[in-house]
Structure formats: C-alpha cells, structure tokens
Homo-oligomer: A and B are copies of this chain.
Amino acid sequence: MSDGIKEACGLFGIYGNPQAVKHAYYSLYALQHRGEEGAGIAATDGRTIRDIRGMGQVSEALTLEDFGAFESHAAIGHVRYSTAGASDITNVQPIVVQYSRGEIAVAHNGNLVNARILRSKLESKGSIFRTSTDSEIILHLLASSCQVNWLDALANSLNEIKGAFSLVFLTPDEVVGVRDPQGFRPLIIGKLGDSYCLASETCALDLIGAEVLREVEPGEMVSLSKGSLASRRYAPPTRHARCIFELIYFARADSSLFGEHVHLFRERLGQKLAEEHAVDADVVIAVPHSATSAAIGYHQGSGIPFEQGFIANTYMGRTFIQPFQGQRTRYVNIKLNAVPQVLKGRKVVVVDDSIVRGTTTASKMRLLRKAGAKEIHLRITCPRLYHPCFYGVDFQSKEELIANKVPADNMTEFFEVDSIGFLSIDGLRSCARCEPEGFCTACFDGKYPVPVPINVRQMSFEESHGRMVSPLLRKAPAHGSEAAHNYAPR
C-alpha cells in the first residue's frame, strides 16, 4: 500500500443492453479501488439523458431508484478520485450538458497538460465553466467545433487536448470511447451478449460476465451502437507511454491491461527484485494487499518462505474516516497489525510497491520492529520516485518526494531497516512481456513523453489541484472595484 499515491479514476460504458444501468453500477463497484470520492452514472433511453451522481463510495453515492422507471439501454459511469475539498458534488462525473447537437455526457480518466491554456482561450471567447474538470473543457471544444458531423468535431477536439485521457461519451444514440495517442490510461472493450461495453479494467468486465475483446488503441475512437462496434483513428501513431504505475499499484491484481496480467506482472516484479536485491532471510512478507503478488514473486525467486507478517482489517477498504476528527489518533495499526508470532527473532524481507513521501512506510517498519523482527530488508517493486506526474497520478510536488529529501545512501538509516532495495528501471521494463519501451517512466527518470508547459511544471501541488483560476482573471479588468465610477451614487 503506497502512501501518497492516490487512485486514478475508473470508467465504464455500455450500449444496447436493457440492464445497462445495473451493469454500470456493478462495474463501478469492481472499479471502486480507482476512486472512492465520488461516483456517477448517466444513462439514455434513446431520447434524453439522465444521471445520478454522489459523493463517496459507489454503494453510498448512487441510489439506482433515482432513475425510477427510466428505461435505458445505454449508460456510462465514473468513479472519481478528487483532491478538491469537502462536498464538491459539482465536479463528480459524468458531466451532462446540452449544446447545439443535443444532449451529451462525458467521463474522463487522466490529466490534460494544456488544460489551463485551453480554458483561458475558451473563456476569452465567452465560454462559462461550472466545474474545474478537464471534461468540461473537452465539451466546450466539441461545442465550438464547426464540423457538421459530430464525430468529426470530436476528432478535431481531441487533437487540441494534450496529456493523458481515456474518455467515454454518451449521447442518446451511441457510446464512444477514446484513448489518448500515448495510451497513458487503459480502456478495454468487452462484449456482453449482443452489446458492447468499455471499462478501465478487465475486472469490471469479468464481474458482469462480459468477454474481453481488446484494448482501445492509443489514438483510437470507438463507437458502440446497436450491435456494432465502429472504430476510427483520430490521431497519427506516436510513441506509446502507458503509465507503469497502473501495473505497479493502481489496478486490481485480477485485471489485465496493457497486455499484461497484473498479478503475474507483479509476481515477475518480485522475482526480479529477488534477483537484483538478494538477501539471506527467514521469511518474505507483503504489505497487504497491493504487494501480495510481488511478495509471492520474491518468495518464488528467492526460495525464502512466504508468510503473513501483516494482517489487514478487511473492513477498511482503502480509506477509513476516523470518527475523532481534529485529534491525532495513535491507532497506527488500525489498518494493519504486525504478527509477532511470525516475525519475532526472524530476518524479514518485506515487499511494498512504492515509497512516495515515506511517512506510512516508516510507520509500517516501526510495526515490524515492535513485533520483534531481528532484521528488516525492505524491497520496493519500482525505482526511486524523483519527479512529479502531470498525467494523472497524484504524486506530491518534487519537494515532498522522499527520494529528493533523503539521499539514497541514508535511506536504510532513515527507515531504520537493515537494507533497502528498489527495482531498477531496466528491471522494471524487463518484466513487461509486450512493448517494454512503451511505458511512461517519467516519475523515475524525468523523461516526460508529452511536453509539459513550463507554468504547469512550476505550479505547486496545491495550485494545480485546487479550483482552476483563469489567468485572465489575474491581470484583466475584472468584476467590481473600478466599475463603480459608472454609477451615480445615491
């Protein structure tokens, strides 16, 4: 379980199924790990679009009764990870609007790098924004396009946005899925009976019993309508840059994406780690649940017995709202309990997926020591994180990344462990079976596959995630103050 890394969003879409809404609900449930802060479903009966959206996990956010007797055959859904404050239901997706071509809904997974520039441009032409989502920018571009055919308009609009975007659109007539040219975020096509569907991960398709067909290709638009799946390339081929963190951490172990089965990929990470960072030890344990596959891999690679050194409270999900707010609780072990009976006097290899700010890693190491581990050998299934992500992974600013604060040589001391080993970039790539060069590894090596505007790079974490503010607002004559001289005071 990585500290500081937050979930990506999750998408779903289906066309031509009388139980479209029900399938969307359950699929979002299967994608819950990609976003717990909000969820929404938009559905159509072929004439109009209705939506339900709410804050929190799927089971509390969505009340399907709100659709009443609405008979829909197509739907899209979204689970959201949000940095924004309290109860900001406004930003929960899908976003549904009306424009010259009628009604349309959209949901987005990823992060645009030119959002600020596009937004300023649109505002200066008279656009108004109700949300701070990238999705709304895309809809404005679509509405501004003078192409007669709406899919032409969409293709044009997609060529204006840069960065990471997997998108699902819903109109009364079809469901459209899109993936950015680099393929940062996943989007998979499935088939359920006669109807086609889309999901961020295969585990959602498995749950509803859909057959997995293939991934939407980077730079591809697919259109789902009655019994047919149509495809179109909207962008020329370019170097692929799949987000390696999807495989390392985000995705559920039973999903397949980017041509890899997540569990097997993580096992290979563990095996590779055992090769790169061998150690003499009594047991291998995992930080549950995300590192379990990798720990088994380390055990396979090293022959050191696999054990359960941590037991997780299965009632936590990934988050837990502590009921005593405003006080620092000392229940560090509410999620995890270390097992002295397994650890005491043992030399322990502990496998985790990543270290971001280092705080929760440090507290876990303390739990192990307190449980009596004789030696602790920390093994991480990815390289050191030096660079922030601008494509949708919620890494802290450069300054907060522990790799930039604690020199590599001092890390064992910092975490009070006996050794620490990070997988190498080459080692990481070598675990991929198909197109090992097609991944984005910018967070490790700083090589950003899509250029990031200098002002975006300079923005602090806070600014980049808060409510976006138009640059125009900062300089231009705005509301108020100087306006008063137009008035005759009374």
Contact = CB atoms under 8 A, between A and B. Distances in A.
A389 interface: no
Given A59-B321, A151-B486, A313 B30 contact: yes
A313 B223 CA distance: 30
Contacts of A337: 203, 206-207, 254
Interface string A453-490: 00000000000000111101100111111111011111
A462 to B, nearest CB: 13
B100 A470 contact: yes
Contact of A308 (B26, B129, B253, B331): B253
Contacts of A261: 339, 341
B128 A98 contact: yes
A263 B339 contact: yes
Given A102-B479, A300-B305, A228 B173 contact: no
B478 A150 contact: yes
Contacts of A152: 486
Interface string A87-110: 101000001111111101000000
A126 interface: yes
Given A232-B487, A331-B26, A480-B173, A315 B33 contact: yes
Nearest to A266: B308
A424 interface: no
A18 to B, nearest CB: 13
Interface stretch (A2-10, A136-144, A241-249, A402-410): A136-144
Given A229-B489, A263-B311, A476 B101 contact: yes
Interface stretch (A179-187, A274-282, A288-296, A356-364): A288-296
A193 to B, nearest CB: 12
Nearest to A26: B331
A129 B481 CA distance: 29
Contact of A48 (B66, B95, B140, B467): B467
Given A149-B483, A231-B488, A314-B318, A333 B48 contact: no
Contacts of A486: 149, 151-152, 230, 232
A172 B480 contact: yes
A130 interface: yes
A223 B296 CA distance: 47
Interface string A59-99: 10000101010000000000000000111010000011111
Interface in A335-354: 337, 339, 341-342
A411 interface: no
Contact of A123 (B98, B148, B311, B490): B98
Interface of A: 22, 25-26, 29-30, 32-33, 48, 57, 59, 64, 66, 68, 85-87, 89, 95-102, 104, 123-130, 132, 136, 139-140, 143-145, 148-152, 171-174, 203, 206-209, 223, 225, 228-232, 252-254, 256, 261, 263-264, 289, 292-293, 296, 299-300, 305-308, 311, 313-318, 320-321, 323-324, 330-331, 333-334, 337, 339, 341-342, 467-470, 472-473, 476-484, 486-490
20 contacts: A29-B313, A29-B334, A32-B313, A48-B467, A98-B128, A99-B126, A100-B123, A126-B140, A126-B144, A128-B139, A149-B486, A150-B479, A171-B479, A225-B484, A228-B489, A231-B488, A232-B486, A232-B487, A253-B311, A314-B316
Given A59-B323, A128-B139, A209-B331, 6 more contacts: A97-B129, A98-B130, A101-B479, A149-B482, A174-B479, A256-B341
